[in-house]
Amino acid sequence: MKYCSECGSSVVLRVPEGEHLPRHVCPACHTVHYQNPKIVVGCVPVDEQGKILICKRAIEPRHGFWTIPAGFMENNESLEQGAARECYEEALAEVEMGSLLAIVNILHAQQVHVFFRARLLNNRYGAGPESLEVKLVDEEQIPWDEVAFASTEYALRVFLADRHAGQETYHMTSYERRGWRS
């Protein structure tokens, strides 16, 4: 951030009075511009046979790698609504959102990823504009070496572990730096 989004003046980085962290502050109109983590919402969509819907990314980062439907939460939607919207946008699939699966703090990217279990409502799916390919896979067909993000892999692994154990619990973890395979 270089300019004040309210008045267009150059901002400075300083600790505002009464606070303890440096912020982008406008010397002209005195607006303090806070920057906070963004939320990514996603789900593990499963069909009646237990197959999992995965998407091959058509966009960067990680073009050509596989993921589960997920993306930035928008204003004026709930976490579950956002996860369902992303699933429709990326995989053209309608889902019923289920229980909370995982929350992953991505510290280096200033993001919190929130994943739910989800049930495919019919057998219609396909590649949305941000996907090269969308397919249903059995557990043993998951392309682990081509999974896009550490949080995707985490969500899939805890999903499968819980399914094997016959339970639906939530899981939390944090990543401090990029864990992409090269």
Interface positions with a second copy (CB under 8 A): 1-8, 10-11, 18, 21, 33-39, 72-80, 100, 103, 105, 107, 110, 112, 129, 170, 172, 174
Amino acid at 62: R
Residues contacting residue 86 through CB under 8 Å, at least 6 positions apart: 41, 42, 43, 69, 70, 71
Q: Measured from the CB atom, is 44 or 102 closer to a second copy?
A: 102
Report which residue type is found at 114: V
Q: Least distance to a second copy from the beta carbon of 157, Å?
A: 19
Comparing CB distances to a second copy, the nearer of 18 and 166 is 18
Q: What angle do CA 73, 77, 83 make, to 5 degrees?
A: 50
Report the residue number, 110 or 122, with the smaller CB distance to a second copy: 110
Q: Which is nearer to a second copy, 58 or 160 (CB)?
A: 58
What is the rounded distance in angstroms from the CA atom of residue 134 to the CA atom of residue 68?
10
Alpha carbon 70 to its chain centroid, in Å, reads 4
